Amino acid sequence: MRKFSVLLASLALTSSVTFADSIAIFGSGPFGSFTGTIEYNFDGDPGDDDLFITLKNTTDPNIQDPPNLITAFVFNINGDATATLDPDPDGDFENVVNEDAQPNGTFEFGAAIGGSYNGGGNPNGGVAVGDTRTFAFDVEGTDASSLTAIDFFSELSTNPQGGGAEVFMVRFRGGEESDKVPGEIIPLPPAAWMGLAMLGALGTIKKIRSRRTVA
Is 35 strand, coil or helix? Answer: strand
How far is Cα 178 from Cα 166, in angstroms, rounded to an integer? 18
Three-class SS of 8-30:
HHHHHCCCCHHHCCEEEEEEECC
Contacts from 65-68 at CB under 8 Å and sequence distance 24+?
A: 65/175, 66/174, 66/175, 67/129, 67/174, 67/175, 68/31, 68/32, 68/123, 68/129, 68/172, 68/173, 68/174, 68/175, 68/177, 68/178, 68/179
The pTM assigned to this predicted structure is: 0.79
Give the SS3 label for residue 77: coil
Going edge to edge, which strands form the sheet with 69-75?
Answer: 93-100, 106-113, 69-75, 168-173, 179-182
* pLDDT tens, residue order, the chain (215 aa): 433 333 333 333 333 333 338 999 999 999 999 999 999 998 877 777 899 999 999 999 999 999 999 999 999 999 999 999 998 766 689 999 999 999 999 999 999 999 999 987 899 999 999 999 999 999 999 999 999 999 999 999 999 998 899 999 999 999 999 999 999 999 866 566 555 555 544 443 343 343 344 44
